[in-house]
Amino acid sequence: MQTAVSEVKELLNRLPEESSYEDIQYHLYVIAKIQQGLVRAESEGVVAHEEVEKQFQEWLND
């Protein structure tokens, strides 16, 4: 797993030179949210795609 500093450096290397502070903040926000989601999925588990489809069908038929 990469450190936060190495991830930010990698992000800055990928972004265009003309990126604004807001662009950088947005990308950092997205990366942080993805990381939070991965941690939550690891700790709480996930629902299989088939199960989600089944639940949607039940909700739509009610």
Structure tokens at 45: 């588990």
Tell me the per-residue pLDDT of 20-43, one tens digit each, with 9 for 90 and over: 999 999 999 999 999 999 999 999
pLDDT of residue 20: 97
Are 27 and 15 a contacting pair, CB within 8 Å? yes
Are 8 and 28 a contacting pair, CB within 8 Å? yes
Tally of domains within the chain: 1
Query: What is the span of the domain harbouring residue 38?
Result: 4-61
Question: Rounded to whole angstroms, how far apart are CA atoms 21 and 24?
Answer: 5
Q: Has residue 1 got a pLDDT over 80?
A: no
What whole-number percentage of the chain has pLDDT above 70?
98
pLDDT of residue 62: 73
